Structure 1
Amino acid sequence: MSVPHTASAPYEVRGMRVTDHRFTVPLDHSAPDGETITVFAREYSDAELPQAEAEQLPWLLYLQGGPGGKGPRLLSFGGWTKAASRHFRILMLDQRGTGLSTPANRQTLALRGDAAAQAGYLTHFRADSIVADAELIRAALGSEPWTTYGQSYGGFCTLTYLSFAPHGLRESLITGGLAPLTGPADRVYRATFSRVAARNAEYFAKYPQDRALTTRIARHLETEAEYLPSGERLTVRRFQMVGSFLGGNTRVDGLHLLLQEAFVPTPGGDRLSDTFLESVHGLVSRAGNPLYALVHESIYGQGEATRWAAQRILNEYPQFRPEAEEPLYTGEMVYPWYFEEDPALVPLKETADLLAAKADWPALYDPEQLSRNTVPVAAAVYTDDIYVDRNLSLETAAAVRGLQVWESADFHHDGIADDGEGIFNRLLGMVRTEPDPDSAA
Structure 2
Amino acid sequence: MTGPGAADLLEADSRVRHTIKARHEFRGMRTAEHYFEVPLDHFGDPSGETITVFAREYVSTDHSPEQAAQLPWLMYLQGGPGGRGTRLPALAGWSKAAAQDFRILMLDQRGTGLSSPIDRNTLPLRGNDAGQVEYLSCFRADSIVADAEAVRHALGSGPWTVYGQSYGGFCALSYLSFAPEGLREVLVTGGLAPLTGPADRVYQATFRRVAARNAEYFGWYPEDRETVTRIARHLRETEEFLPDGVRLTVERFQMVGSFLGGNTRVDALHHLLEDAFVGTSDGHRLSDAFLEQVRGLVSRSANPLYALMHESIYAQGMSTGWAARRVRRDFPAFHPDAAEPLLTGEMVYPWYFEEDPALRPLRNVARLLAEKSGWPPLYDPERLARNTVPVAAAVYTDDIYVDQELSLETAAAVRGLQVWESADFHHDGIADDGEGIFARLLGMTRSVRG
Q: Which TM-score applies when normalising by structure 1?
A: 0.98
Partner of 1:253: 267
Amino acid at match of 2:417: L
Q: Distance in 1 between matches of 2:442 and 2:106?
A: 18
Tell me how far apart the structure 1 counterparts of residues 79 and 309 of structure 2 sit (CA, whole Å). Answer: 13
Aligned to 1:196: 210
Q: 2:25 aligns with which of 1, 7, 12?
A: 12
Q: Secondary structure at the match of 2:447?
A: coil
Q: Distance in 2 between matches of 1:277 and 1:232?
A: 11
1:14-413 equivalent positions in 2, closer than 5 A:
14-30=27-43, 31-413=45-427
Write the letter of the residue equivalent to 1:114.
Answer: N
Answer yes or no: is the 8 Å Cα contact 1:402–1:435 preserved in 2: no
State the alpha-carbon separation in 2 of the partners of residues 9 and 232 from structure 1.
40
Residue 439 of structure 1 corresponds to none
Letter in 1 for 2:41: D
SS in 2 for 1:23: strand
Deviations, residues 177-204 of structure 1 (Å, cap 9, x unaligned): 0000000000000001000000000000
Partner secondary structure for residue 194 of structure 1 = helix
CA–CA separation in structure 2 for the residues paired with 1:205 and 1:9: 51
Q: Secondary structure of the residue that 2:267 maps to in structure 1?
A: helix
Displacement of 1:8 after TM fit? 2.7
Deviations 1:87-118 (A, max 9, x none): 10000000000001111110001111111111
1:334-380: CA deviations, max 9, x gaps? 11110000000000000001001111000000000000000000000
CA contact (8 A) 1:148 1:169 kept: yes
1:137 & 1:333 partners in 2: Cα distance?
Answer: 32
Instruction: Tell me, in whole angstroms, the C-alpha distance in 2 between the residues paired with 1:49 and 1:402.
Output: 33
- Cα deviation per residue 1:183-233 (whole Å; 9 max; x = unaligned)? 000000000100000000000000000001100000001111111111100
SS in 1 for 2:80: coil
Query: Deviations for 1:11-42, whole angstroms, at most 9, x for unmatched residues?
Result: 10211100000000011002111111000000
What is the CA distance between 1:9 and its match in structure 2? 4.1
Aligned mates of 2:26, 2:180 — CA distance in 1: 34
* Distance in structure 2 (CA, Å) of the matches to 1:9 and 1:204: 49
Q: Secondary structure at the match of 1:423?
A: helix
Letter in 2 for 1:57: L
The count of residues paired between Structure 1 and Structure 2 equals 436
Return the alpha-carbon distance in structure 1 between the equivalents of residues 200 and 449 of structure 2.
34
SS in 1 for 2:184: strand
Distance in 1 (CA, whole Å) between partners of 2:390 and 2:286 is 52
Q: Which residue of 1 aligns with 2:447?
A: 433
Give the deviation of 1:176 after TM superposition: 0.3
Letter aligned with residue 11 of structure 1: H
Alpha-carbon distance in 1 for matches of 2:347, 2:62: 43
Which shifted more, 426-435 or 34-43? 426-435
1:203 corresponds to which letter in structure 2? Y
Q: Matched residues in 2 for 1:86 and 1:434: separation? A: 21
Q: Distance in 2 between matches of 1:214 and 1:178?
A: 32
Q: Deviations over 1:394-434 (max 9, x none)?
A: 00000000000000000000000000000000000000012
Q: Is the 8 A contact 1:63 1:93 kept in 2?
A: yes
Change in CA separation of 1:435 and 1:324 when aligned onto 2, cut-off 3 Å: farther
- Cα deviation, 1:114-142, whole Å, max 9, x if unaligned, reads 11111110000000000000000000000
CA distance in 2 between partners of 1:380 and 1:330 (Å): 24
Give, in whole Å, the separation in 2 of the partners of 1:210 and 1:146: 47
1: CA distance between counterparts of 2:324 and 2:369? 14
What root-mean-square deviation, in Å, do the aligned CA atoms of Structure 1 and Structure 2 show? Answer: 0.9
User: Where in structure 1 do 4 or more consecutive aligned residues deviate above 2 Å?
Assistant: none
What secondary structure is seen at the aligned counterpart in 1 of 2:333? helix
CA contact (8 A) 1:247 1:412 kept: yes
What TM-score results when the alignment is normalised by the length of structure 2? 0.96
Percent identity among equivalent residues? 72
Structure 2 spans left out of the alignment, 5+ residues = 1-12
Q: Helix, strand or coil: the match of 2:121?
A: helix
How far did residue 10 of structure 1 move? Answer: 2.4
Is contact 1:239–1:280 with CA below 8 Å preserved after alignment? yes
Matches of 1:128 and 1:170 in 2, distance apart?
19
What amino acid is aligned across from residue 332 of structure 2 in structure 1?
Answer: P
CA distance in structure 1 between the aligned counterparts of 2:363 and 2:374, rounded to whole angstroms:
20
